[in-house]
Amino acid sequence: MAAPDWLALGLGNPGEEYEGTRHNIGFEVIDLLAERYGVKLTQRLPSLVYGRALVAGTETILGKPRTFMNLSGAAAREAARQWRLSPQQFIVILDDVALPLGRIRVRKRGSDGGHKGLRSVIEALGSQEIPRVRVGIGQPRGDGMVDYVLGRFSRSEWPLVAEAIERAADAVETIIRDGVEVAMNRFNPRGAG
């Protein structure tokens, strides 16, 4: 099998107790992409569960770390070694409390913005030049941040969330097919970097 051109890495926490939580929206996007391409995420490295897909005619790994969020870099490091990938060949999909619920933002590079999972990936790959798709989960109203991100979306939030997951998956496909700049122009709110 040919070496992949891209690795789409959705961030989240493994285990049933974390399914459907705000922090796991990156996993939801990977699951949707796997469904779109008829791929099962059954292959494993010690820190990564993954499947291979032909996205827009391009060899792509769809992966989810098998570690907890704050250690996501282990999966990135392992994948980079396994397939000789540069940081620019990753697309990291993650939740973002700084974005309104349902909004997505594509970035070509940048800091971790306080997201510990992304920080771990940046440290593991030794670069901030990592394309990413941020999915807005909104701000807590009173709950502590940890309780908020590990909480589940309310029934009334789900329509917006489901749409955001679809758009984030579309953004990943656009990055692979047309490049990060095109995806930024198509998916970012006007005036956002």
Q: What is the pLDDT along the chain (193 residues), one digit of tens a residue?
A: 568 999 999 999 999 999 999 999 999 999 999 999 999 999 999 999 999 999 988 999 999 999 999 999 999 999 999 999 999 999 999 999 999 999 999 999 999 999 999 999 999 999 999 999 999 999 888 768 888 888 999 899 999 999 999 999 999 999 999 999 999 999 997 654 4
Q: Which residue, 14, 29, 11, is CA-closest to 161? A: 29
- Cross-strand partners of 106: 133
Tell me what pLDDT residue 144 has: 82
The identity of residue 164, as a single letter, is A
What whole-number distance in Å separates Cα of residue 51 and Cα of residue 34? 8
- Model-level pTM? 0.95
Q: Which residue, 68, 60, 79, is CA-closest to 24? A: 68
Tell me what pLDDT residue 2 has: 67
Residue 127, CA distances (Å) to 77, 89, 144, 153, 160 in order: 12, 12, 30, 32, 32
- Is 115 among the residues known to form the active site? no
Helix axes 180-187, 158-178, angle to 10 degrees: 150
Tell me what pLDDT residue 141 has: 80
Which of 22, 23, 64, 107 is labelled catalytic? 23
- Cross-strand partners of 92: 9, 132
Residues 6 or more apart whose Cβ sits within 8 Å of residue 156: none
CA 159 to chain centre: 20
